[in-house]
Amino acid sequence: MTTTDADLDTGARSPGVSYQDLLDADTHPVPDVLRLESAKYFGSEDVPIERYTSREWHRKEVDQMWSKVWQFACREEHIPKAGDYIVYDIAEHSFLVMRQEDGSIKSYPNACLHRGRQLKEYDGHCSEIRCPFHGFAWQLDGQLHDVPAAWDFPHVDQRPDDFTLPECSVDTWAGFVFINPDPDAAPLSEHLGDTMEHFEVWDLENRFVEGHVSRVIEANWKIAQEAFCEAYHVNATHPQILTYLGDTNSQVDVFGQCARVITPGGTPSPLLGDDSGISEQEMLRSMLDIRVGQEAPFDVPDGKTARQVAAAASRERWRPMVGDRVDQMSDSEMMDSLDYTVFPNFHPWGAFNRIVYRFRPNGDDHRSCIMEVFFLSPFAGDRPPPAEEVKLGVHDDWNNAAVLGMLAKVFQQDVFNMAKVQKGLETTRKPGVTFSNYQESKIRWLHTLLGEWLNDDVAVSVGTGAAARSTL
């Protein structure tokens, strides 16, 4: 018998309390967006190993996808003033993203039009774009304005269009700056689609970058990304949080242009069984990482749940920053992981989860990648300056990034798997990776879109038909 979307909607789910059941018991109004359910069945086929191991596949990704897709480059606050710029690298390509005099943003391939030197190597500020090799210089808007010993370049004067910096497409959404190397790309709004509507309630624009940590990982970028696209791994990789995380009760939804995994907190894992005997008080202690013999800062009163008590504490945490708006926010928004994904590598989380992930190939190396975590936090008063990036090398411990707090230990556990997955995939005799039908359906969705971009639909049999493609 064939599994259909309808089966996923009604049947093939973990036992235990569902996310929607938890919303029914919420102490505060639940936003409509969390009531949506959109399970999608993408077939049960294996995804070919080559997608993670093959040089040819990587080249196709660069030429057919990274060169033509909208991608998150930085936050607007990273380049607040005219002349501020960041260097955004993707695979072997490099781009400048630069604030203009009129407040708009332009992006240029980061290459001199004389003999090709990379124009900038680090983020910074400039009044002109002057190449360090022979000194050709451009205005911020890309117009050539100085050629040393210009008498020797009459041919440059004759071809002004060829010596204006070519542009990429640029647009912004919710304080994020996106670029698309394709100057004729379809609008960003088409690429983001449903995502924009979903995030209206969470106002990510009025946040500041409280933390930014990057780490090099010895694995294909999709291996790293996919480890953050499901909660199925929690039972084996993060067993210490099973007492208060409804891992296999996660709700997975695929919409037109985004997908999400919502993992409820303050509810025990169904994998612990019905008779786990975990009390509400024990759940709260576990959530707060209270050790044996230590006092918890507060208890769960009779008639209340740990989820409700922790949600109330979370409201008080955010109240100084966002005011009484917290009283209109659900327990779910205070407690649950609202993990959204936009193809190919952008992961903004909802509510006050604060997390934004980005995963990229590490230069032109398909067996290595850069994982980044941004903490986008609300603020009161003036926007604080964005945090400097903490760059962790391939052997560095996430715990070296103090800003991550308790999450550092969790990331350390996640990353521990990744190089070993790459190694296993290089070794295995099994031709494909097997994913579950529901819990890992966000990964299947990503592979479906990737297959569409690369004209390779071997892996998954049902496409969404939703990729907003470049016209090139």
Applying CB under 6 A, which residues contact ligand FES?
112, 114-117, 131, 133-136
Residue 120 or 222 with smaller CB distance to ligand FES:
120
The piece of 13-21, 29-37, 372-380, 414-422 that touches Fe ion (CB under 5 A) is: 414-422
Stretch that binds Fe ion, among 43-51, 98-106, 116-124, 410-418 (CB under 5 A): 410-418
Q: How far apart are CA 446 and CA 338, in angstroms?
A: 17
Nearer to ligand FES by Cβ, of 155 and 429: the residue is 155
Q: Give the residue with the Cβ less far from Fe ion, 61 or 414.
A: 414
**Cβ nearer to ligand FES, comparing 87 with 258:** 87
Number of residues in the chain:
472
134 binds, among ligand FES, Fe ion, none (CB under 5 to 8 A by kind): ligand FES
Nearer to ligand FES, 96 or 460 (CB): 96
Between 96 and 450, whose beta carbon lies closer to ligand FES? 96
Residue 446 or 466 having the CB closest to Fe ion = 446
Residue with tokens 């980061």: 110
* Pairwise CA distance, residues 52 & 433, whole Å: 10
Cα→Cα distances 140→107, 117, 374, Å: 10, 18, 28
Site residues (CB under 5 A) for Fe ion, limited to 92-131: none
Residue 131 contact, options ligand FES, Fe ion, none, Cβ 5-8 Å cut-off depending on partner type: ligand FES
Residues binding Fe ion: what is the number (CB under 5 A)? Answer: 1
Pick what 319 binds: Fe ion, ligand FES, none; C-beta below 5 to 8 Å, kind-dependent: none
Task: With contacts defined by CB under 5 A, name the span among 144-152, 160-168, 318-326, 409-417 that binds Fe ion.
Answer: 409-417
Using the rule CB under 5 A, give the single segment among 91-99, 171-179, 412-420, 422-430 that binds Fe ion.
412-420
Instruction: Please report how close the Cβ of residue 112 comes to ligand FES at its closest, in angstroms.
Output: 3
For helices 306-322 and 280-287, the axis angle rounded to 10 degrees is 40
**Closest to Fe ion by CB, 265 or 386:** 265
* Alpha helices for 132-244 (secondary structure H): 154-157, 188-192, 194-198, 221-226, 234-237
DSSP string covering 126-163: -SSEE-TTT--EE-TTS-EEE-TTGGG-HHHHT-GGGG
414 vs 452, which CB is nearer to Fe ion? 414
Q: Which is nearer to ligand FES, 116 or 273 (CB)?
A: 116
Query: Residue 218 carries which side chain, given as an amino acid letter?
Result: E
Could you tell me whether strands 346-348 and 337-341 are parallel, antiparallel, or unpaired per DSSP bridges? unpaired
**C-alpha span between 293 and 280 (Å, rounded):** 18
Distance CA 268, CA 240 (A): 11
Q: How far is the CB of 111 from ligand FES (least distance, A)?
A: 9
Pick from Fe ion, ligand FES, none: which does 136 bind, CB < 5 to 8 A by kind?
ligand FES
Q: CB neighbours of 93 closer than 8 A, spacing ≥ 6?
A: 62, 66, 67, 109, 181
Does residue 414 interact with Fe ion by CB under 5 A? yes
Report residue 369 as tokens. Answer: 């990648």
CA dihedral 308, 357, 230, 55 (to 10 degrees): 180
Q: How far is the CB of 134 from ligand FES (least distance, A)?
A: 3
Q: How far is the CB of 88 from ligand FES (least distance, A)?
A: 20
Query: Does residue 115 sit in helix, strand or coil?
Result: coil
Least gap, CB of 139 to ligand FES (angstroms): 15
Q: Are 265 and 337 in contact (CB under 8 A)?
A: yes
In whole angstroms, how far apart are CA 110 and each of 58, 66, 81, 113, 455? 22, 16, 20, 10, 29
**Least Cβ distance, residue 120 to ligand FES (angstroms):** 12
First to last CA, the chain: 41
Residue with tokens 């995380």: 245
Which of ligand FES, Fe ion, none interacts with 414 (beta carbon under 5 to 8 A by kind)?
Fe ion
Q: Which does 114 bind (CB under 5 to 8 A by kind): ligand FES, Fe ion, none?
A: ligand FES
117 binds, among Fe ion, ligand FES, none (CB under 5 to 8 A by kind): ligand FES
Binding at 187: pick from Fe ion, ligand FES, none (beta carbon under 5-8 Å per type): none
Distance from C-alpha of 348 to C-alpha of 337, rounded to nearest angstrom: 11
Provide, rounded to whole angstroms, the least separation between the CB of residue 153 and ligand FES: 11
Provide the binding-site residues for Fe ion, judged by CB under 5 A. Answer: 414
